[in-house]
């Protein structure tokens, strides 16, 4: 590199790069502001399938099908989408499918929309009850090592893991 300052990589880009390094090729999501960068990266990447869903539970089943075929995927969703997945997570638990979700949290630190609290505050309880291990991230500098840990736990050890991108990390939406 010759001279000039190099823009630090956004943590969202680092997260995407880690997923691609681990050979994740199916990205599925219900559109969400918190996941904009990673969704757009997947849309621009000819090496992956970028799949918009009508409801988050579709993504749980999609990832199970991907695993049957030897592929790896990730479900990107907002905390409110976690509730839509509950019964479908029985598929993951019952058949021991590896499962990786990245959840952008609402209803937490500085939330200004009262509607978001019920599901946001229940996310960890609900996911834990269905056998999904939650890894919380509060600080940008912890993102990469957390996603690396989640990828190892999911695809080497065959666990179900959700990385929770907390509102302190994402910043609360203004109301």
Partner 1 sequence: MKNEPLAVQKPLFTLDRAKVVPALVGKPDDFLIVTGLAGAVYEIAALTNHADYFYGLGGSMGAACMMGLGLALAQPKRKILVVTGDGELLMSLGSLCTIATVNPPNLSILCVDNGHYGETGYQRSHTSRGVDLAAIARGAGIRRVHSVIAEEDVAAGAQMLRGDGDTCFVLASVKPTDGPKGKLNLFGDECRTIFRRALLGPA
Residue with Cβ nearer partner 1 (28 or 165): 28
Among 157, 115, 108, which Cα is nearest to 137's? 108
Q: Could you say whether residue 18 binds partner 1 (CB under 8 A)?
A: no
Q: Could you say whether residue 154 binds partner 1 (CB under 8 A)?
A: no
Residue 58's Cβ-side half-sphere holds a number of Cα atoms within 13 Å equal to 10
* Range in contact with partner 1 (rule: CB under 8 A) among 11-19, 49-57, 113-121, 139-147: 49-57
Residue 48: other Cβ atoms inside 10 A: 21
The single residue among 9, 13, 21, 94 that binds partner 1, judged by CB under 8 A, is 94
Q: Could you say whether residue 32 binds partner 1 (CB under 8 A)?
A: no
Q: Could you say whether residue 65 binds partner 1 (CB under 8 A)?
A: yes
The single residue among 37, 88, 126, 144 that binds partner 1, judged by CB under 8 A, is 88
Residue with Cβ nearer partner 1 (63 or 147): 63
Q: Could you say whether residue 68 binds partner 1 (CB under 8 A)?
A: yes
Instruction: Give yes or no for a contact between 65 and 98, defined as CB atoms under 8 angstroms apart.
Output: no
Q: Could you say whether residue 81 binds partner 1 (CB under 8 A)?
A: no
- Residues 6 or more apart whose CB falls under 8 angstroms from that of 130 comprise 86, 89, 90, 92, 93, 160
Q: Could you say whether residue 91 binds partner 1 (CB under 8 A)?
A: yes
Residue with Cβ nearer partner 1 (91 or 166): 91
Task: Catalogue the E-assigned strands of the chain.
Answer: 24-29, 49-52, 72-78, 99-104, 133-137, 160-165
- Distance CA(47)–CA(31), nearest Å, equals 20
* Range in contact with partner 1 (rule: CB under 8 A) among 14-22, 70-78, 101-109, 116-124: 70-78
Mapping DSSP to helix (H, G, I), strand (E, B) and coil, where does residue 46 land?
A: coil
Binding site for partner 1 (CB under 8 A): 26, 49, 51-55, 57-71, 73, 87-88, 90-91, 94-97
């Amino acid at each position: 590199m010759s001279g000039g300052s190099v823009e630090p990589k956004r943590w969202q880009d680092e997260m995407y790069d880690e997923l691609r390094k681990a050979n994740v090729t199916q990205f599925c999501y219900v559109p969400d502001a918190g996941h904009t960068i990673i969704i757009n990266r997947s849309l621009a990447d000819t090496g992956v399938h970028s799949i918009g869903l009508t409801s988050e539970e579709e993504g749980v089943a999609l990832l199970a099908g991907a695993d049957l075929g030897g592929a790896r995927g990730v479900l990107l969703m907002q905390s409110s989408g976690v509730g839509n997945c509950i019964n479908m997570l029985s598929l993951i638990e019952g058949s021991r499918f590896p499962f990786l979700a990245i959840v952008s949290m609402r209803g937490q630190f500085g939330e200004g929309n009262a509607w978001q609290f019920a599901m946001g505050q229940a996310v960890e309880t609900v996911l834990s009850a269905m056998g999904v291990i939650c890894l919380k991230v509060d600080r940008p500098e912890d993102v990469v090592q957390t996603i690396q840990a989640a990828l190892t736990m999911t695809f080497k050890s065959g666990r179900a893991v959700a990385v929770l991108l907390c509102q302190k990390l994402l910043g609360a939406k203004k109301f």
